[in-house]
Amino acid sequence: MALPPTSPAANQAPAGKNLSALLFFAGLAHAISFAPDPLPFAALPYVQLISLAVCFGCALSASTHRRALLYAGWFGLGSFGAGVYWVYLSMHHFGGMPAWAAGGATLIMALVLSLFYVVAIGVLRLLSPDNRQLSWHRQLLVGAVAASVWTLTEWLRGTLFSGFPWLNIAYAHIDGVYAGLAPIFGVYAVSWSAAFTAAILGLFAIQTRQNTQPLQGLGIGVAVALGIISVVVGSITWTTPYQAPMFVRLVQGNIPQDQKFNTHYALQGVERYIELAALPPKDPSHPLRLIVLPETVIPYVQRAFEPAFWQSWLDVAREQDASILLGLPLNQSQTQEDWYTNSVMLLSPLGTPQEIFHTQLPTYDKTHLVPFGEYVPKGFQWFVNAMNIPLGEFARGAPRQTNMQVADVAIAPNICYEDTFGEEIIRSVRPHPDHDTGANLLINVSNLAWFDPSWASRQHLQMSRMRAKESGRPMLRATNTGVTASILPDGRVQAMLAPRTAGVLDVEVQATTGLTPYVRWGNGPILGIALGLLLICGGLLRRKQS
């Protein structure tokens, strides 16, 4: 790990420029840890830790605060520039925005997201400006401050302005040793552990570079102990099976985004989904109980179709003797034609077209909407007008909605990137006196064709896996172009379809009951711990330096 020497003469501009380039490429490596293909999942935690350790090491050993902030900015630009480059695809290829405008908007987005890294490093440097004397207790204090401030800024990034938690460092560790903390304290506990380890590695590299005193390995020992504790507590099973296993079909139609809402091709895409849903079960001895189709598989509001159209879907439900969960925009207003929600509806084998038309079947309405794609932030109508996005502005669903029932199992759907917000997902798992006793099965329906071909679908799979692990519930994913998958309650992928292929995935699903500590507590405990450690350890560092 290349780190700057501490002498002022060695920190002249050329070295600074070289290190800025190093930090940018470390950020690129950091982005790769969130896109598993072609890297194996098991390698991703180490890629994340080493790249973030480079950022911490360079920033903590920088000769000036300004240079430390610059390093953080370059690292963030590399990480977010590569990690969310797919935003460009949606704006230019499918939104019709000119290449220069889409590229500029993507760069601005990466720069804004990088500011959270700059703030984290800025606070860390403020509390620990001098890292030449690295005693064992100072290592632990700096590591705790680094982990705490990083975790809190990750939480802020996932909360402010509706939140964008994409590329939270924890997701690179879904197959790592720290993932065992997720059912107890949630995704931010995994973030804290990963950031602490990266900071300790960075400090250890500084100490190795200085070579002025015996190496202090206690910090690394604490990081290893954290991993051991996480593995031990991760072996605890917090939930138990509920009802008998049932067979579910997940459908992936692979409809290109430029055809999905095109009036010449839209109905052809719907017909493909009907054909896939109607395929007989691969094993006749295992009849299907539920068929799940992606977000907006029906591209127009339900009242735009004649009863015969809906009857064709109900015929499939009757032939399969299974309920059908499908995504569509719903107009639930009797007076406003332009008032609609991004929803899923549960079609019953006993349903009627009239019930669909009048929204009398169980539905879930998306509550966490995507800025610019599903609602227009104040002052940004001009930006949305520069793109050709179908459907327009959706109404929000209620934060807690009644779960649906299939074969006596309570299922909680979520739509698109709603499953990137852990504390929102666990609302449906908790019992609610006005709604139900809590979900036994989670289902995500998405259409990531907006970003194809890109890393977005694989990054999204990492986050869905974390939600399953946090909640102790299986998570089913039905997507238009991928990744369609069945995820076990411990976060492992049970089965998946290859991205950008049309097909069905018939899986046996075991619903669960019981609450993990994270479902009971939410993010409060880990955020409180991080804030407390930041104040206490930061205060101790400042006192030692005064």
CA angle centred on 121, ends 118 and 124, rounded to 5°: 150
- Packed helices 187-210 and 456-471: angle between N→C axes, nearest 10 degrees: 110
> Residue 294: what residue type?
P
pLDDT greater than 50 at residue 2 = no
> Any catalytic annotation for residue 470?
no
Beta-strand relationship, 246-252 and 240-241:
unpaired
CA distance 292 to 92: 30
Question: What ranges make up the beta strands (E) of 409-511?
Answer: 409-415, 441-446, 475-479, 485-487, 493-496, 503-509
Give the containing element (helix H, strand E) for 405.
strand 404-406
Give the C-alpha separation, 198 to 55, whole Å: 9
Q: Calculate mean pLDDT across residues 118-144.
A: 86
How are strands ordered across the β-sheet holding 288-292? Answer: 363-365, 341-347, 323-330, 288-292, 246-252, 503-509
> Where does 62-98 have alpha helices with state H?
65-83, 86-89
pLDDT tens for each residue of 255-265: 988 787 777 78
| Residues 495-546: tens digit of each pLDDT | 999 999 999 999 999 999 999 999 999 999 999 999 999 999 999 988 866 6
Q: 154, 366, 423, 424: which is the annotated catalytic residue?
A: 366
pLDDT at 444: 98
* Res. 6 pLDDT band, cuts 50 70 90: very low
- Work out the pLDDT band at 283, boundaries 50, 70, 90: confident
Which two tokens mark 489? Answer: 């309650």
pLDDT attached to residue 4: 45
The predicted model gives 171-187 an average pLDDT of 96
Task: Tell me which of 58, 154, 260, 295 is the catalytic residue.
Answer: 295
295 part of the active site: yes
- Rounded Cα distance between 55 and 24, Å, is 9
Helix 99-127 vs helix 65-83: crossing angle, to nearest 10: 140
Query: What pLDDT is recorded for position 304?
Result: 86
Give 499's DSSP letter: T
Beta bridge partners of 495: 486
**Residue 449 has what pLDDT?**
84
Instruction: Single out the catalytic residue among 416, 418, 469, 537.
Output: 416
* Distant-in-sequence, close-in-space partners of 359: CB < 8 Å, separation ≥ 6: 302, 330, 332, 345
Helix-strand-coil percent breakdown of the chain, rounded to 5? 50, 15, 35
Helix (H, G, I), strand (E, B) or coil at 279: coil
Residues 6+ apart with CB under 8 A from 27: 51, 55, 74, 75, 76, 77, 78, 79, 80, 81, 82
Place of tokens 């917090």: 238
Q: Name the average pLDDT for the chain.
A: 90
283 or 156: which leads in pLDDT: 156
10 pLDDT more than 90: no
Mean pLDDT value across residues 16-21: 81
pLDDT confidence of residue 36: 77
| pTM (two decimals) | 0.93
Whether the predicted pLDDT of 388 surpasses 80:
no
Lowest mean pLDDT of 87-91, 309-313, 385-389, 434-438, name the range.
385-389
What's the CA gap between 70 and 64, in Å, rounded? 10
Residue 42 has a pLDDT of 74
Tens digits of residue pLDDT in 445-494 = 999 888 888 899 999 999 999 999 999 999 999 999 989 999 999 999 99
Out of 167-181, 203-217, 342-356, 450-464, which region has the weakest mean confidence (pLDDT)? 203-217
Residue 55 designated active-site: no
- Name which of 32, 79, 29 is nearest 455 in CA terms: 32
Find the DSSP H helices in 84-181. Answer: 86-89, 99-127, 136-157
From the number of C-beta atoms within 10 Å of its C-beta (0-12, 13-18, 19+), residue 407 rates as middle
Q: b/e per residue, 128-144, with b = 16+ CB within 10 A?
A: beebeebeeebbbbbbb
Q: Is the pLDDT of residue 11 over 60?
A: no
Assign 5 a pLDDT band (cuts: 50, 70, 90). very low
